[in-house]
Structure 1
Amino acid sequence: MVTGRKTKSCDEEMAESKAVENGTTTMSTTGQATKSSAQLGALLRKADVAHVCLRLLCMASSVTALSFMVTAQQASTVTIYGFHLPVYSKWSFSESFEYLVAVTAAVTVHSFLQLLINGSRLLRKSPMIPSRNHAWLSFAGDQVFAYTMMSAGSAASGVSNLNRTGIRHTPLPNFCKPLNIFCDHIAISIGFTFLSCLLLATSAVQTVIWLSHN
C-alpha cells in the first residue's frame, strides 16, 4: 500500500511537471509571436515614414526645378565682329524649356496629391498601400512621370549646352558669358529635374517591393 501511494504521487508530480512545461512553452511561443508582430509593425511603420519623406522630397525637388526655370531671364550685350548687340533671353523663348515647365508642374501636383493621401494614412495609422490595384496605379503614375521628367531634362540640356558652348563654325559666341544668371538658373532647374526623376523611380521601386511581398 505504501509503495502504491508513492507511485501515484510520482505520477502526479510528472503530470504536473509536464503541464507546467507545456504552459511555459505556450507562453514562450505566444511571447515570441507578439514580439515578431511588434517588430514587423515597427518595420512597416518606418517604411511608411520613408515613403512619405520620399514624396515630400520629390515635391520639393519639382518645385525647385519649376521655380528656377520660370525665373530664368536676363538682358545683356554680346560682342560680334566688334559690334555690341543687346540680347535678351527668357525661358519661354525655347520650346524645350516650356516643356520642362509643364512637366515639372504636373509632377509637383502629382507629388502633392500623393503626399496628402499618404500623410493622412500615416497619421491615421492606416496601410500606406491599401490594395494591389492602388499599388499598380501608383507604380504606373510614378513610372510615367519619371520617364517624362527624364525626357524634359534631356531636351532642356541640349539647348543649355548649346548656349554654353556656342555654335561651332560660326562667329556666334558663348551666350552664357553675358547671360550667366540665365544659364545658371537653367542649369539648376535641369539638375533638380533629374533629381525628381530619380526620386520617382525610387518610389516606383518601393511599390514593386511591396507588390512582391503581398
Structure 2
Amino acid sequence: MVSDRKASEEAKVAAAENSTMSGPLVGTTRPSETKGSPVRRKSDLAHLVLRLLCMATSVIALSFMVTAREASTVSIYGFQLPVYSKWSYSRSFEYLVGVSAAVAAHSLLQLLISGSRLLRKSPVIPSRNHAWLIFAGDQVFAYALMSAGSAASGVTNLNRTGIRHTALPNFCKPLQSFCDHVAISIAFTFFSCILLATSAVQDVIWLSKN
C-alpha cells in the first residue's frame, strides 16, 4: 500500500517536470529569436549595408559640392564680364555641406557600432531604447537632408533658368562644370535621404516585433 502511494507520487512529479519542460520553457522561445538565427543575421546584415550605403552617398554628395567651383565669362548687355562661382558663395550650398557631413559622421558611427556587434555575433540592435535612439536620429537626419536638398535645388534651378524680365542670363551655360557638380551633389543628397528613411522603417519593423 505504501509502495503504491510512493510510486503514484513519483509518477505525478515526473509528469509535472515533463509538462514544465515541454510547455513554458520550450514554447516561449521563437526560432527567430535564437542567437545567430538566419532571420536575425539577415536583418543585421541589411542594417549594416544600409549604413554603408548612406555613408557612401553622403560622402559623395559632400565631395561633389566642396569641389564645385569654376571661372568663366558671361555676356550681360553685350559686355563680357568675368564670373567666378564657388559653393561657399551660397548659404544653401553651405547648409547642404554641413548636413551631408553630419550624416556621414552619424552613418560612420552607426556602421562601426553595428559592425563590431556583428563580429561578436551579438544583435545589432540590442534593446528597444537603442532602437528608439537610432530611429530618432535617422528621422532627424532624413528631414535635414530633404531640407538641404530642396534649398540647394532652388538655387540651382535659378542658375539654370536665369531671372525673368531681366537681362541676367543662364549662368549654367558658362559655368557648366560648377552646375554639374552641384546637380550630382543634390541627387546623392536625396538618395541619402531615401536610405535614411528606409533605415527608419527598418527600425519601426524591429520595434513592432520586439
What amino acid is the match of 1:118? S
- What pairs up with 1:72-111 in 2 under 5 angstroms? 72-111=68-107
The answer to whether the aligner puts 1:134 opposite 2:130 as a matched pair is yes
Unaligned ranges ≥5, structure 1: 1-25
Q: TM-score, normalised to structure 1's length?
A: 0.82
Q: TM-score, normalised to structure 2's length?
A: 0.84
Residue aligning to 2:47: 51
Which of the two has higher C-alpha Rg? 1
Residue aligning to 1:22: none
What amino acid is the match of 1:82? G
Rounded Cα–Cα distance in structure 2 between residues aligned with 1:132 and 1:47: 16
The answer to whether the aligner puts 1:196 opposite 2:192 as a matched pair is yes
Conserved 8 A contact 2:65-2:93: yes
- What pairs up with 1:1-214 in 2 under 5 angstroms? 41-214=37-210
Rounded Cα–Cα distance in structure 2 between residues aligned with 1:36 and 1:181: 51
Structure 1 residue 199, shift from structure 2 partner: 0.3
Higher mean C-alpha displacement, 43-52 vs 139-148:
43-52
Residue aligning to 1:16: none
Rounded Cα–Cα distance in structure 1 between residues aligned with 2:122 and 2:97: 35
Structure 1 residue 37, shift from structure 2 partner: 7.4
What amino acid is the match of 1:166? G
1:163-186 CA-to-partner distances (Å, cap 9, x unmatched) read 000001100000000000000000
Structure 1 residue 36, shift from structure 2 partner: 7.5
SS at match of 1:177: coil
Report sequence identity in percent.
Answer: 76
Q: Which of structure 1's runs of 4+ aligned residues deviate more than 6 A?
A: 33-38
Structure 1 residue 90, shift from structure 2 partner: 0.2
Aligned residues: 184
Structure 1 residue 111, shift from structure 2 partner: 0.3
Unaligned ranges ≥5, structure 2: 1-21
Rounded Cα–Cα distance in structure 2 between residues aligned with 1:111 and 1:91: 24
Structure 1 residue 80, shift from structure 2 partner: 1.2
Rounded Cα–Cα distance in structure 1 between residues aligned with 2:59 and 2:152: 17
What amino acid is the match of 1:150? M
1:114-170 CA-to-partner distances (Å, cap 9, x unmatched) read 000001111111011100000000000000000000000000000000000000110
SS at match of 2:37: helix
